[in-house]
Structure 1
Amino acid sequence: MAGNQAVSMNPPNAQENLSTHGSDWLWAVFSIMALSTLLVAGATLMRPRGTRLFHQLAVIVLTTASIAYFSMASDLGATPIAAEFRGGGTRQIWYVRYIQWFINFPILLLVMLLATGLPLSDIVTTIFMSLVIVVSGLVGALVHSTYKWGYYTFGLVSLFYIWYVLLWHAPASSFAAGGVVRRGYYLAAGYFSFMLITYPIAWACAEGGNVITVTSEMIWYGILDILTGPVFLAFFLWELRGVDYEAFGFRSGRYVDNNATAVRGEKAPMMAPAPMVAPQAAPAAAPGPAAASAPEQTV
């Protein structure tokens, strides 16, 4: 089995560690992520240029997840940390998972918020709060004392802000693409917000409280990442299949198309200059005593 070989070649470095069955499960998740990456990449190439933004963001998310799960399935990307509960000992903390979330969490939020009418400042702040959640979770997992729950609290507060933006602030904005995108956003935001609450629960049972084993942790997080990765992105991209990208106001694709001739070394067509029109002279005043006696104006 692939799991047995991976654990044998990369021996665990903690007392609470990944089992061969856990490694087999991670290889299965890696296969799902890699296959999803190939499918979305193929769908991206089939779309016209200038309408690939959301598909390309999905490719980034799925590629990052594939690399992370390849590392975890190979029993790589973990460090031993002293556990706070269950009699002490050390537990594997998978920092490669937090690297994955550090990249994917902001992009998933960006995929949804770009479809709304939120200003850029609100989007940037929401993305920053997602980074606070991931960094707080990583630092808290690496802390072996009770102080880890302080970082857990910082993450929860940031999560409340993201919920506020996804479920209240963003739906109140004006959607540029109209009712079709608004309906799809409601479904996507509700689904994604529900999935977000499950991650802190898993963290509290795994890295935080050391209640469940590392293999159970991998099964839990693997299911969550599949539901918030390939499943969520497939639904979101399907909802956007018939939306006119012109409504979003994206201009990057048009810039590439207009400059394609310059990239090939061809001269771009020159616009004809506007014809010069000579200004018409003012009509001369009729001769007469009135014109002769008119006072001279000073400019």
Structure 2
Amino acid sequence: MSSDLLVARNNALNVNPNMVNGKSVDIAITTHGSSFYYAICAIMGTVAFGVIGLSYLKPREDRIFFYITAAINFTACIAYFTMGSNLGWTPIDVEWLRPRGSEVFGINREIFYVRYVDWFVTTPLLLMDLLLTAAMPWPTITWIIFLDWVMIVTGLVGALVKSRYKFGFFAAGCVAMFGIFWELAFASRKQAKALGSDVNRVFVSCGVLTLFIWCLYPIAWGVCEGGNLITPDSEAVFYGVLDFIAKPVFSIALIFGHWNISPARLGLQIKYGHPTGHAHDHNIEKDRQGDGQTSGAQA
């Protein structure tokens, strides 16, 4: 099926038009942008179901990375469906007006806040995939997730601010992001290396991919929500490609990297279906006594 036919069949903007209170938004996605969002949605959903399907090849107690990774892609799938349907956005007046005739000429721009809701859920899960791979302690994981939430929330607030003060929030988010990079590049990498070459290989490959891609998100923010330099359709492609690499590509690399690594090696040993402890031993003893009494009565 050709791309033109896909666009022709996409009726999202007719059902959910670029209008608020009867007024059209000046700078907003077209059907091409909507269709691209739907394409990424389909990829996210396919990867999510694929990861869940692969999880059934593993014992239930060894599925922690499968569940976390599937959750990342399921959440992103819903977010991209929302954006493809032209929902989850609000118009914000742009700080720098572009000249008449420009593709981004207008007073207000469509800002997809649902994108940040997606990141608020998925980026901590993605970091957990990395940090649990390195067997980092929970206090460190909690701190890094806090920095991540600061990064996401300040990005959202900055996107919704109409004045140039938005770049103050942008700067705060970048500081939080580099705090995350520091923890991943030094303490976490050192811990992963101590766990063995196979664990280190998974952490480094997925970690380097994450650091590189995440460095491009501030650029995307600067030319989209921040500076109003590219169209919302180009924004869809820019963020969509970044998310495609940061989530589906990352997910596939992580799952296959973990395939022969037992979570127990990473301090993630989970007992399933085998109760332990004194209460269990006591119940076994009671069962034995009951069997003995029954046998005696039958005799």
State the TM-score, normalized to the length of structure 2: 0.84
The 8 Å contact of residues 30 and 233 in structure 2, kept in 1 or not, is answered as yes
Distance 1:11 1:221 in 2: 22
Distance 2:282 2:249 in 1: 44
The reply on whether 1:221 has 2:239 as its aligned counterpart is: yes
Question: How many residues were matched structurally?
Answer: 265
**Counterpart selection for 1:113 from 107, 114, 131:** 131
Distance 1:167 1:94 in 2: 31
Specify the alignment match of 2:17 in structure 1: 11
Q: Please give the root-mean-square deviation of Cα atoms over the aligned residues, in Å.
A: 2.0
Distance 1:240 1:176 in 2: 16
The reply on whether 1:69 has 2:57 as its aligned counterpart is: no
Secondary structure of 1:171 counterpart:
helix
The 8 Å contact of residues 176 and 247 in structure 1, kept in 2 or not, is answered as no
Alignment deviations for residues 142-191 of structure 1 (CA, whole Å, 9 cap, x no partner): 00101100000000100111110111121122657422101221111111
Secondary structure of 2:284 counterpart:
coil
**Counterpart selection for 1:270 from 280, 284, 292:** 284
The 8 Å contact of residues 109 and 127 in structure 1, kept in 2 or not, is answered as yes
Specify the alignment match of 1:258 in structure 2: 274
Distance 1:118 1:36 in 2: 27
The reply on whether 1:135 has 2:141 as its aligned counterpart is: no
Distance 1:4 1:179 in 2: 48
Specify the alignment match of 2:293 in structure 1: none
Per-residue deviation at 1:258? 1.6
Secondary structure of 2:122 counterpart:
helix
Identify unmatched segments of 5+ residues in structure 1.
Answer: 261-266, 273-299
Q: Which has the larger radius of gyration?
A: 1
The 8 Å contact of residues 117 and 175 in structure 1, kept in 2 or not, is answered as no
Alignment deviations for residues 19-43 of structure 1 (CA, whole Å, 9 cap, x no partner): 0111111111111111111111101
Give the share of equivalent positions with the same residue, in percent. Answer: 35
The 8 Å contact of residues 176 and 248 in structure 1, kept in 2 or not, is answered as no
The 8 Å contact of residues 115 and 176 in structure 1, kept in 2 or not, is answered as no
**Counterpart selection for 1:23 from 34, 43, 48:** 34
Change in Cα spacing, 1:179 to 1:148, as seen in structure 2 (3 Å) is: same
Specify the alignment match of 1:296 in structure 2: none
